Amino acid sequence: MPAESEEHVGDGGVETQEQRDASSVATDGDHLVELYKKMVLIRAFEEACQRSFRQGKIGGYLHVYIGQEAVATGFLDAFKEGDRAITAYRDHPHVLLLGSDPKNVMAELYGRGDGIVKGKGGSMHLFDVERGFMGGYGIVGGHIPLGVGFAYAMRYQGTDHVTQLYLGDGSISNGAFHEAVNLAGLWGKDGMCPCLFIIENNQYGMGTSVERTTAMTDLARKFDAYGVENEKVDGMDLEAVLEVAHRAAERVRETGKPYAVEALTYRTVGHGAGDFFEKYRTKDEIKKWRERDPIGQLEHKLIERDLLDEDAIEEISNETKETIGEVTKFADESAEPPIEELYTDVYAGEDEYMGEK
Partner 1 sequence: MPEVIMPKMGDAMEEGTLVKWLKSEGDEVSEGDPIAEIETDKVTLELEAENAGTLAQLIASEGQDIPVGDAIAFIAGEGEEVPERNGGSEAQAGGEAEEGGDDEDGGGAQAQTATEEREAAGAPSGNGAAGGNFRASPIVRRLARENNLDLSRIDGSGPAGRIVERDVRAAMERGDAQADGQADGQAAPAEAPAEAQPEQQAAQAGLQAPTLPEPTDAPGTQLVEPTRMQRVIAERMTEAKQHVPHFYATVEVKMDAAMALRKQLNEQLEPEGLKLSVNDFVMKAVAVALRNYPNLNALYTSRGVELHEKVDMAMAVALDAGLITPVIRDIGSKGLATISRESKDLAARARDGKLKPEEYQGGTITVSNMGMFGVESFTAIINPPQAAIVAVSSIAKRPDFDESGEVAPASFMKLTLSADHRIANGRDGALYMSEVKRVLENPVMLMV
Partner 2 sequence: MATMTYREALKAAMSEEMERDESVVLMGEDIGVYGGTHLITDGLIDRFGAKRVMDTPIAEGGFTGAAIGMAMMGMKPVVEMMTWNFSFLASDQIIQNAAKLRYFSGGQVNVPLVVRGPNGGGVQLSAQHTHSLENMYGHFPGLKVVSPVTPADVKGMMLTAIRDPNPVIFLEAGALYGTKGEVPDGDEGVEFGKARIAREGTDVTLISYGRQVNLCLRVADRLEEEDGVSAEVIDVRSIRPLDEETFVESVKKTHRAVAVQEQWRLFGVASEVASIIQEKAFDYLDAPVIRVSGAEVPAPYARNLEIAAFPSEQQVANAARRTLYIEEK
Report 71-130 residues binding partner 2 (CB under 8 A): 84, 115-121, 125, 127-129
* Gap between the Cα atoms of 243 and 263, Å rounded: 12
Least distance in angstroms from the C-beta of 276 to partner 1: 5
Partner in contact with 61, chosen from partner 1, partner 2, none, beta carbon below 5 to 8 Å by kind = partner 1
Partner in contact with 297, chosen from partner 2, partner 1, none, beta carbon below 5 to 8 Å by kind = none
Q: Where are the beta strands (DSSP E) in 87-171?
A: 163-168
User: 322 or 341, CB closer to partner 2?
Assistant: 341
Residues 6+ apart with CB under 8 A from 87: 94, 135, 136, 137, 143, 165, 166, 167
* DSSP 8-state class, residue 337: P
* Gap between the Cα atoms of 131 and 117, Å rounded: 14
Least distance in angstroms from the C-beta of 146 to partner 2: 4
Rg (CA), the chain: 20
Least distance in angstroms from the C-beta of 166 to partner 2: 14
Least distance in angstroms from the C-beta of 333 to partner 1: 13
* HSE toward the beta carbon, residue 11, CA cutoff 13 A: 7
User: 50 or 217, CB closer to partner 1?
Assistant: 50
Least distance in angstroms from the C-beta of 323 to partner 1: 13
* Gap between the Cα atoms of 220 and 55, Å rounded: 39
Closest CA to 42 of 203, 238, 198, 277: 238
User: 58 or 162, CB closer to partner 1?
Assistant: 58
The pairing of beta strand 195-201 with beta strand 163-168: parallel
User: Contact with partner 2 (CB under 8 A): which of 142, 207, 227, 272?
Assistant: 142
Closest CA to 48 of 36, 64, 60, 35: 64
Contact flag: residue 55 with partner 1 (CB under 8 A): yes
* Gap between the Cα atoms of 62 and 271, Å rounded: 9
Report 152-181 residues binding partner 2 (CB under 8 A): 152-154, 156-157, 175-176, 178-180
Report 188-207 residues binding partner 2 (CB under 8 A): 190, 192
Contact in structure between 77 and 36 (CB atoms under 8 Å)? no
Residues 6+ apart with CB under 8 A from 110: 52, 57, 58, 331, 332, 334
User: Contact with partner 1 (CB under 8 A): which of 67, 93, 111, 115?
Assistant: 111
* DSSP 8-state class, residue 341: G
Least distance in angstroms from the C-beta of 155 to partner 2: 9
Q: By CB under 8 A, which span of 48-56, 140-148, 235-243, 326-334 interacts with partner 2?
A: 140-148
Q: By CB under 8 A, which span of 54-62, 172-180, 219-227, 299-307 interacts with partner 1?
A: 54-62
Least distance in angstroms from the C-beta of 334 to partner 2: 14
Interface with partner 2 (CB under 8 A):
84, 115-121, 125, 127-129, 134-135, 137-139, 142-154, 156-157, 175-176, 178-180, 182-183, 186, 190, 192, 344-349, 351, 354-355
